[in-house]
Amino acid sequence: NVGLFSGYRLRGLTRTMERAAVQGGCDYSHPSGFYLGNWNSNVSSAIFGNANLEMDFYGGYKPTFGAITADFGFLYYYYPGSRATLTNGQSGAVCTLCEIDNKEIYAGATWKWLGAKLYWAIDDLFGVPGTKNSWYLDGTANYDLGSGWGIVGHVGRQKVKGWSDATYTDYKLGVTKDLGGFIFGAALGATN
């Protein structure tokens, strides 16, 4: 898959300083339910300590129980060449010239056009000291209107362990149109 976007937001926050993003990846799904994948996007080096690329590697298992599909897996966010001084604004903990990355396990489920997934940081969240065991809860809705049109809705809640001021909610509402395998869309999103 490959796409061109007016910007890249992860959990409601810009990763490209509101500039355009080129994104793409590949996935392998086995009939047993196991899968592996890689996804990539340009990011702003001002945010990611001189790194201008995000590479996500993931794998998991999707069993089906009637109309419900579960999803269990591991996700690694990697920013090649990143080096930054990261400070926890709540505790004051500092990491100098740290590599920015993130390791999470996740569990979720989809039913018809509704989905929910919980992501759990098994290391410091994006390298910020003292934030291990932070979590993000994602709720999504992808409703097919027919004739290639769809509505996309999302609400998420980020809880940063040991840093109460960094806990927030993000949301998005948008529309998509499938034109012969090319999907066009527009969405509005924000955080509180």
**Is the per-residue pLDDT at 86 higher than 90?**
no
pLDDT > 90? residue 57 = yes
Per-residue model confidence (pLDDT) at position 186: 97
For residue range 152-176, what is the model confidence (pLDDT) as tens digits?
999 999 999 988 888 999 999 999 9
pLDDT tens-digit readout, 91-125: 888 888 788 999 999 999 999 999 999 999 999 99
| pLDDT tens, residue by residue, 175-191 | 999 999 899 999 999 99
- The residues that bridge with 136 in the sheet, in sequence order, are 119, 158
pLDDT at residue 52, rounded to an integer: 96
- What confidence score (pLDDT) does residue 164 get? 80
pLDDT tens for residues 7-52? 999 999 999 999 999 999 999 999 999 999 999 999 999 999 899 9
Share of the chain above pLDDT 90, in %: 84
What pTM does this model have? 0.94
